[in-house]
Structure 1
Amino acid sequence: MMALFRDVAPWLKLLLRRRQQFWLGALLVWVTLLAGLSLLGLSGWFIVSCALAGIALAAGLPSTLDVYVPGGGIRFFALLRTLARYVERLYNHSTVLTLLADLRYRVFGDLTGLDDATLKRQRASEWLSRLTADIDQLNNLYLRCLIPPVAALLTVLVVSGFIAIWLPWVAVVMALVFTLLWLVVTVGFGWIGFGNSYQHVSDQEELRRLVLDQVQASAELRSYQTSGWHRQKIQNLEAVSTENQRRLALKLALGNAFVSAVTGLMLIATLWLGSLAFSAEQVVGPVLVMAVIAVLGMNEVFALLPAAFLKLGASYAAVQRLNALKPLAPVIDMQGLPYRADEHAIQLVSVHYAYPNTMYPALVDVQATLLPHTRVVITGVSGSGKSTLASVLMGRMAPTQGEIRVAGVPPHRLSTESRAEYFAFLTQQTDLFDGTLESNLRIAKPSATDDELWRVLNMVGLEDWVAQQPKRLSTNVGEKGQQLSGGQARRVALARLMLRDPSVVLLDEPFASVDADTAKHLAAALDRWLARRTVIFFVHQTEDAALLAGIDAWWHLDGGRLCTDTTSFSQPQAGAPYE
């Protein structure tokens, strides 16, 4: 129980940041429940009073009854219940949607802080499920496990106190029985259904993964003649999941039956104790009927609680997965650090990096020092470790052994803001979003003026093309830049990079997907923009060494080992081997 509370506490704190909305939502639920009970109780009292008055008049006995006040009360509670229910649903669902947006913002922030190795261990669809399915499970905490129990407990206290005016012993028994029932359907049913609901979430995630594998890897499964085996695996898991859901549904049915049974027994107890009071002339018949009907209406108060708390395990499973998204903890801010030329060098000391569950390390004993304002080219074939080295230099991953210092501090310890300000990285993969050209560029600098956007577009040779488009800067690039050619998308990404003012720039195949003339234009623009910056080019090989102007050293990465020779630099010709 303590572990559950410890894991859930951070998310409850995040939910309860909007505590005013929470209490107002709980108040609306409470008013709705009280209006319904008041309507039942007053209607029962009014019907019996009218019946008794009619019997008295038929028997020739004097009898009076004010039908206007209770009739008005019945109309008032009927309208109040309807209005409160509508406002409660509208307000609480609006609040929940806002809370889910807060949660998704928090989780997305955690995802952006994860290192590259962690992100690559899961599919994009599985990370998406963290933002959708797992967050939706937390909806159960707020909408079903927080507000209804609070409203139910307050309703028990108010109704018991009201009945105590005429039937004190009935009120005492009612308060004790319904308080125990409240504990059973919250704590008890939360414990009873915990394992099944927890397993349900795991089964659904595994099923989702297997079905995606069946679709996305269908060609491979057919080629290895394992499609039938894989489908059978899905069917077996479906059978197990269905059985688990059947057990959960059975417990839910038992929970509803238990609530109805306790409410029915309390109804009998109220009739018995009330009849004793009626025989002793301590209470009149209409009041007794009002108390009995109020007890009957308590079934509605507790009806939703078993289903909510039986799914507590599912919410906890989602919380555990979300808690596992622990990003690297940045603690250092570059602002305010004194500038020293030696501190702004890049130093790699015996750097090793090994991905989990791999036989060979990606980086092995990398030793290098890159002085400020110098340019280095690192070559290597695919799989030699270039992307890993870039991620480690960017602070996206911490080395498993050794030490990296950029500006005197480990890059993975930098705050996200400092890292974004200090570094710029053009990756091999071009990431553009479904939006306008302008919005994709302003990701790098939201305050950029139109003149600045046109300037960087000119630097990458896209100014004339954009000027010819009907919507110019408002031209839509499409999802993942699919409205652009590969070379255009690459240059848009480079233009976005040039809007920033970083100290260290990493460029991975900057001239990929462009023709020779465009590459020369980009090289000249890059040469001017990279002045007074520390630069590392990652390339497979140089077909035209003239594109990489002002290079101070050529390094080579082979099997995770970095070969450096910065003491005697000679620029290679096109196609020549590297030293």
Structure 2
Amino acid sequence: MIGVAPPEHDPAAPEAAAILPVAGPATVRGYVRGLLRRHRRAFVLLVVCNAVAVVASMVGPYLLGGLVEELSEGSGDLHLGRAVSLFAVALAVQTLFTRMVRLRGAVLGERMLADLREDFLVRSVALPPGVLERAGTGDLLSRITTDVDRLSEAMREAVPELTIGLVWAGLLLGGLTLTAPPLALSLLVAFPVLAVGCRWYFRRAPSAYRSEAAGYAAVAAALAETVDAGRTVEAHRLGAHRVELSDRRVAQWTAWERYTLWLRSVLFPVVNMVHVLLLTAVLLIGGACVLRGWMTVGELTTGALLAQMLSEPVGIILRWYDELQTAQVSLARLVGVHEIGTEDGDGAVRPDGRALRAEDVRFGYRAGSDVLHGVTLDVPPGTRVALVGPSGAGKSTLGRLLAGIYGPRSGAVTLGGAELARMPAEDVRRHVALVNQEHHVFVGSLRDNLLLARPAAGDGELWAALRAVDAEDWARALAEGLDTEVGSGGAALTPAQAQQVALARLVLADPHTLVLDEATSLLDPRAARHLERSLATVLEGRTVVAIAHRLHTAHDADLIVVAEDGRISEMGSHDELVAAGGAYAALWRSWHR
């Protein structure tokens, strides 16, 4: 067929924007089967109610066919009263069960949608932290918002309606075959046309819808990143570049939108043609059969009415199956997190001790471009290590590997002899915690924000944690103390206060190993120094890896590690490194000027 060609692939095309995987057909089918098994009783009830409604709707054609048969035979008694009474009863039954079908279908859809949302949230939270950190903001947002919105309609309407259409069409075909078997030959005329049209459409539609969804994710990513980094965009005069990028992404997305619209504009005329062909074939075949005495006029009338009724369920099936193409893509994107490998409790490794070690670690954010080059570092339990070095030396990257956020490309990072990359994320977080420059205050009370770290903590423990990070005074000054609403729409916390809340969560979480990546960067130097002294008691006995540009942190450390160009260039105590006159000594002198 001649028409709109699919957009050509572009290196910056939307498909490349998604970082989290998209589930394959086998994973999606398995998930759907599991979802239906969970709700099989409601699904069976929906099918039964629908079958009753369809059978009731078929009473009318059979009654009318009987009346036509009596008229054709010259009967003077048509029993109109009985026919009208039966039709009224059938109509009442059809109305009642159709209402039940709609109600049961909507309830079933909402329950399956709730299960899907919960499954996605639980699975996402259990993903390895490095996977989530590398996932684009736009990709995550589009899955949680756009894909869920698309699935909402599918779950509420498409799944119930498709079930209704399939049962309806099946019963009508059965009734047509039983009433007048020769009329079933009309299906051989109409359905091949439908099969060819559907095959043409559905060979192209799934991939087109996937590209359309990926295109929207790319648009969302470009817009979200521009808004989040608005000040940086202005400072570096990147506005025109970001607008051009957004325009290109929007153009790619709308190109796929136009292509999928064109596909539908071909399919639906084919469907309408099939309806006309089916009814025409029924009348022609039935008329020939009546003339030869192979069929009565009443049977032809009933068969023609049933064939006419087929147009509605076939239209429902195709319309909602088309909607399910979009929903299937959204479902594959949501279920895609199931294809990310995570160790379960039975096969996972367990640490035997608290010694932290990086051995010949190489790591890069892009293939062929390593940030760390053969780094080896031993951190005995209870040691306070300071990672220092110029910007871009790989300090934060090494810190994230030591915290189990990323896994090395080669080499190994182990805790107590167990590779962090092979440990479940929950186990890693129980042993090692990362606090960096990024912080978040969730919408809710201050108490709720702190209980995220330890849900069973009492008020005394919460105040003790706040006291440990010098946050007790301003927290008690809040209008309702721990019950004060903070975050968007609540009491506004300063960046420094938000960082103290993050550190208080760390105190409550109580891990034995901490990685602090500029954890006090949002505080002024005097306040930061005071806070670090207050935290000293809390950190006593723990393994601490501190990444900082403020070298007073390094001065207090047991071991100073100097990183340069992705390699460790020096290790030792403050006095040893100053005396050595190397890179650290130069940093120390420049910091004191």
Q: Normalised by the size of structure 2, how large is the TM-score?
A: 0.78
Q: For residues 50-83 of structure 1, what are the alpha-carbon distances to aligned partners after superposition, in whole Å with 9 as ceiling and x for unaligned?
A: x949x97xxxx75261625x43443344344444
The amino acid across from 2:563 in the alignment is: L
Query: In structure 2, which of residues 402, 414, 427 is the aligned counterpart of residue 393 of structure 1?
Result: 402
Q: What pairs up with 1:173-252 in 2 under 5 angstroms?
A: 173=185, 189-191=201-203, 193-208=205-220, 233=248, 237=252, 240-241=255-256, 243-252=258-267
Could you tell me which residue of structure 2 aligns to residue 476 of structure 1?
485
Could you tell me which residue of structure 2 aligns to residue 536 of structure 1?
545
Relative distance call for 1:212 and 1:335 in structure 2 (3 A) is closer
Q: Does the aligned pair in 2 maintain the 1:7–1:319 contact within 8 Å?
A: no
Query: In structure 2, which of residues 291, 294, 315 is the aligned counterpart of residue 303 of structure 1?
Result: 315
Segments of structure 2 that go 5 or more residues without pairing to the other structure are 1-22, 579-583
Q: For residues 268-291 of structure 1, what are the alpha-carbon distances to aligned partners after superposition, in whole Å with 9 as ceiling and x for unaligned?
A: 2564266358x46x6463x54333
How many residue pairs match? The answer is 558
Relative distance call for 1:139 and 1:270 in structure 2 (3 A) is farther
Q: Does the aligned pair in 1 maintain the 2:356–2:378 contact within 8 Å?
A: yes
Residues 1:555 and 2:557 aligned together: no
Residues 1:455 and 2:455 aligned together: no
Q: Equivalents in 2 of 1:136, 1:223: separation in Å?
A: 33
Q: What pairs up with 1:35-434 in 2 under 5 angstroms?
A: 35=56, 37-38=57-58, 40-41=60-61, 44-45=64-65, 48=68, 52=71, 63=77, 65=79, 67-68=81-82, 70-112=83-125, 119=132, 123-136=136-149, 151-163=164-176, 166-170=179-183, 172-173=184-185, 189-191=201-203, 193-208=205-220, 233=248, 237=252, 240-241=255-256, 243-269=258-284, 271-272=286-287, 275-276=290-291, 279=293, 283=296, 285=298, 288-310=300-322, 314-315=326-327, 317-318=329-330, 321=333, 325=337, 326-330=339-343, 339=352, 343-356=353-366, 359=369, 361-434=370-443
The amino acid across from 1:522 in the alignment is: L
Q: For residues 98-128 of structure 1, what are the alpha-carbon distances to aligned partners after superposition, in whole Å with 9 as ceiling and x for unaligned?
A: 3334334444455445566655555312221
Q: Equivalents in 1 of 2:346, 2:372: separation in Å?
A: 27
Q: Equivalents in 1 of 2:558, 2:33: separation in Å?
A: 53
Q: Equivalents in 2 of 1:349, 1:578: separation in Å?
A: 31
Please provide the CA RMSD for this pair: 4.3
Q: Equivalents in 2 of 1:523, 1:209: separation in Å?
A: 37
Q: Does the aligned pair in 2 maintain the 1:469–1:475 contact within 8 Å?
A: yes
Relative distance call for 1:191 and 1:451 in structure 2 (3 A) is same
Deviation at 1:211, TM superposition (A): 6.2
Q: Equivalents in 2 of 1:420, 1:231: separation in Å?
A: 37
Deviation at 1:351, TM superposition (A): 1.0
The amino acid across from 1:349 in the alignment is: E
**SS of the residue 1:447 aligns to:** coil
Q: Normalised by the size of structure 1, how large is the TM-score?
A: 0.80
Q: Equivalents in 2 of 1:174, 1:263: separation in Å?
A: 6
Q: Which has the higher contact order (CA 8 A, sep 6+)?
A: 2
